[in-house]
C-alpha cells in the first residue's frame, strides 16, 4: 500500500508526520519523490513530493507490490466548512481545472473509502473532535493517470483547520487503523446526483453499509446533459472503474428522468442493480 503527500500541503504533511511518529519507519528510495519511508508494521511505503499531489502519478510504477494508494491532503472551499473527507479521483466534466484528464475517471476503491469514512467517525468521537463535518466528497479532480485504485483523505477547508494537530491525529489514526485492522465489510456502489459534499451517500453508507466509489454530482450531470455520448461514457466509467466493481448504482430521486434512463441502461448492461433513493 502507498501513502502519498506533498511538502507544500500543510494538512498532508501534518498527517504524514503524525503517522511517522506513531509507527516504526525506515528511510527508503522512491524515484521522483523528495523523501520516502518504509512502514514495515503497516506493509506500506510513504512518499513525499514537491508538487501538489493532484498532479502526482506513477508511484505504483516505481514501487513494487503496491495494490492501492491513499493520498493525504488538504481540502479547500470558499465556504470554509471544517471537514474530514474522503473521495476518489476523476474529472466527470469537459474541463480539467485541478489535474487529470477531462471525462476520465481513475480507479475507485469503495471498501477503502468506506473504511476510512467509518474510521474517521470513530476516531473523531474518541478524540472529542467537534465541529468537523465528516463526509464523502464527489469525484471532482485528478490525478487520473494512476493504474491502481486511489483514494484521497483530507482535512478541510482552510489553513486554520489544515494545521490543527487534533484533526491531523484523527486522520492519521483512521489511516493506521485501515492498515492494521483491514477493510470493513460493505456493498460496493456508485452514486449519481446530489451536492459536492455527498451527504445523502454518506448517510446511506452509515445506514445500509453501501461503500461508494465514484459519486457523480448533479453539477457534473447538468453539464453533460447536452452530450449523450459523454454522459454515457462517464456513467459507464463510474460503474466499471472501481475495484471491486459496484453491485449497486444509487441514483437520487431529483436526477433528471433522461439521465436515469441512461444510468439504468448502462447498469442493466453491466448487471448492476439500480436503486432510486
State how far the Cα of 215 lies from the Cα of 252, in Å rounded to an integer: 11
State how far the Cα of 1 lies from the Cα of 109, in Å rounded to an integer: 12
CATH architecture of 2-181: 3-Layer(aba) Sandwich (3.40)
Instruction: Say yes or no to pLDDT of 95 above 90.
Output: no
Instruction: Say yes or no to pLDDT of 118 above 90.
Output: yes
pLDDT confidence bin for 97, thresholds 50/70/90: confident
222 in helix, strand or coil?
Answer: helix
81 C-beta neighbours (distance < 10 Å), count: 17
Place of cell 448502462: 266
Q: What is the pLDDT of residues 55-64, one digit of tens each?
A: 999 999 999 9
pTM for the model stands at 0.97
Residue 156 has a pLDDT of 95
pLDDT confidence bin for 99, thresholds 50/70/90: confident
Contacts for 200 with CB less than 8 Å, ≥ 6 apart: 191, 193, 194, 252, 277
State how far the Cα of 245 lies from the Cα of 144, in Å rounded to an integer: 18
Q: What is the pLDDT of residues 203-244, one digit of tens each?
A: 999 999 999 999 999 999 999 998 999 999 999 999 999 999
Domain limits, the chain: 2-181, 187-276
- Checking phi first, is residue 183 left (phi over 0); if not, alpha (psi -120 to 50) or beta? beta
User: Beta strand pairing status for 150-157 and 83-88?
Assistant: antiparallel
Q: What is the pLDDT of residues 130-186, one digit of tens each?
A: 999 999 999 999 999 999 999 999 999 999 999 999 999 999 999 999 999 999 999
Q: Which fold has domain 187-276?
A: Rossmann fold (3.40.50)
Mean residue pLDDT across the chain: 96
- Checking phi first, is residue 82 left (phi over 0); if not, alpha (psi -120 to 50) or beta? beta
Instruction: Say yes or no to pLDDT of 78 above 80.
Output: no
Q: Which residue has the higher pLDDT, 79 or 231?
A: 231
What is the pLDDT averaged over residues 14-40? Answer: 97
Q: CB-based burial of residue 251 (10 Å sphere; 0-12 exposed, 13-18 middle, 19+ buried)?
A: buried
Longest CA span, the chain? 54
Amino acid at each position: 500500500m502507498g501513502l502519498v503527500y506533498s511538502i507544500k500541503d500543510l494538512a498532508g504533511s501534518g498527517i504524514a508526520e503524525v503517522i511517522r511518529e506513531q509507527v516504526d519507519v525506515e528511510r527508503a528510495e522512491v524515484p521522483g519523490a523528495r523523501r520516502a519511508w518504509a512502514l514495515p508494521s503497516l506493509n506500506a511505503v510513504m512518499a513525499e513530493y514537491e508538487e501538489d499531489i493532484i498532479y502526482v502519478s506513477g508511484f505504483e510504477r516505481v514501487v513494487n507490490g503496491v495494490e492501492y494508494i491513499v493520498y493525504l491532503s488538504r481540502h479547500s472551499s470558499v465556504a470554509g466548512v471544517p471537514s474530514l473527507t474522503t473521495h476518489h479521483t476523476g474529472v466527470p466534466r469537459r474541463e480539467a481545472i485541478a489535474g487529470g484528464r477531462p471525462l476520465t475517471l481513475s480507479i475507485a476503491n469503495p471498501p477503502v473509502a468506506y473504511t476510512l469514512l467509518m474510521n474517521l467517525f470513530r476516531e473523531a468521537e474518541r478524540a472529542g473532535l467537534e465541529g468537523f463535518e465528516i463526509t464523502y466528497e464527489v469525484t471532482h479532480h485528478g490525478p487520473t493517470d494512476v493504474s491502481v485504485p486511489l483514494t484521497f483523505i483530507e482535512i478541510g477547508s482552510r489553513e486554520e483547520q489544515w494545521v490543527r494537530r487534533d484533526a491531523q491525529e484523527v486522520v492519521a489514526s483512521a489511516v493506521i487503523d485501515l492498515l492494521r485492522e483491514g477493510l470493513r465489510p460493505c456493498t460496493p456502489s456508485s452514486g449519481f446526483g446530489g451536492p459536492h459534499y455527498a451527504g445523502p451517500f454518506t448517510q446511506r453508507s452509515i445506514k445500509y453499509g453501501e461503500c461508494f466509489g465514484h459519486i457523480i454530482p448533479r453539477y457534473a450531470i447538468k453539464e453533460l446533459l447536452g452530450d449523450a455520448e459523454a454522459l454515457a461514457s462517464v456513467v459507464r466509467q463510474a460503474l466499471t472503474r472501481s475495484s471491486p466493481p459496484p453491485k449497486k448504482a444509487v441514483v437520487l430521486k431529483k436526477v433528471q428522468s433522461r439521465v436515469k434512463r441512461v444510468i439504468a441502461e448502462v447498469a442493466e448492461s453491466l448487471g448492476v442493480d439500480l436503486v432510486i433513493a
